[in-house]
Structure 1
Amino acid sequence: LTEQGLVSVSEGCPKLQSVLYFCRQMSNAALVTIARNRPNMTRFRLCIIEPRCPDYLTLEPLDTGFGAIVQQCKDLQRLSLSGLLTDRVFEYIGTYAKKLEMLSVAFAGDSDLGLHHVLSGCDSLRKLEIRDCPFGDKALLANAAKLETMRS
C-alpha cells in the first residue's frame, strides 16, 4: 500500500478507526488529508523505516501532518510517531490529544521541552515508549507518577 493508497483508504472507509502503517516515506499533505478524512480515528501508528525521515516532498519535519492528526482526531487514544519531528509536534500533542492513553516515539524531538508539553498536557496518558530521543530525566521525573508504563 503506497502513501496515496493509504489516503484513498481514508477516503473510502468511513468506519476506519485504527491504522498501523509501515512505510519508507510520508508527507505532511498526506497526513493532513488522512486527518481530515478520518476524524473518528482512535489509533494511528505510523512507522517510517528510516529514522528522522522528513516530508519527502518538502524536506520539512512532519510536525504539521501529525499536528493535524491530533487536532482533527479528538478521540485519539494511541499514537506512534516516527520521521523527522521537532518539539513543535509534542506541543501539538500536549495541546490537542486530551484522550491519548499511549504514545510511542522514536528518534524524535529536540529537547526536554517537547516531552514536557506531552506529559503536562495529556492527562489521560498512561503508557509512554521512548526510543533514541534526546529527552533528559528532568521532564520524565517530574511527571512519571501518572504513567502506568514507561519504556525507554
Structure 2
Amino acid sequence: MLNIKCFKALCLKAGTKKAGEIHDYYIKLEEIIHDAMHEESTELKLQLEHQRKIVEQKTAEIENQIIISEKEKEILLEQTLISQFPINTECIYYGKIDNKTLGKINSKMCNENLIKFGQSNNLTERIKCHKKNFINFRLVAAFTPLKI
C-alpha cells in the first residue's frame, strides 16, 4: 500500500500527463488545506485576543470596585468615629495621609504614608482642618483618654 508521499514521488518520476495532473491536484489540495488552516488559526487568534481583552476589562472593573469599596469603607469608618465624639468631648485621634502627591520623586518620603495624631475637643472641626491642609487625610481611629 502506498502512502501519500510515495504516491506523489511516483507521480513525479512517472513523467506522464496524468501523473502531472495528479501532482497538480495534490499541490492545489495542500494549498487549500494550508489556507483553511491559516484562516482558522487567524480566527482563533482573534477570538483569543477578544477574550483576553474582555478578561482585562473585567479585571480592571473588579480592581476599580475594590478601590472604591475600600475608600467607601474608610469614609464610613471616619464618619462613624466623628459621630462618636460630639463637640466638647475630649479625644485623641490619629489619621493617615497618603503621600503619593507629596515629596520628591525617588526620595525616601515619596509614596510613603504619613501618620498624623493629636488631641481635640472638637473632632469634626479638627478633621475638616486636616482635610483642608492635607487632601489625602483619612481618620483611622479616635479614643477617649483615660482620666487619672
TM beyond 0.5: no
**Which has the larger share of helix?**
2
**Greater radius of gyration (CA):** 2
Give TM class, smaller chain.
under 0.3
TM, length-normalised to structure 2: 0.18
Q: Which has the higher contact order (CA 8 A, sep 6+)?
A: 2
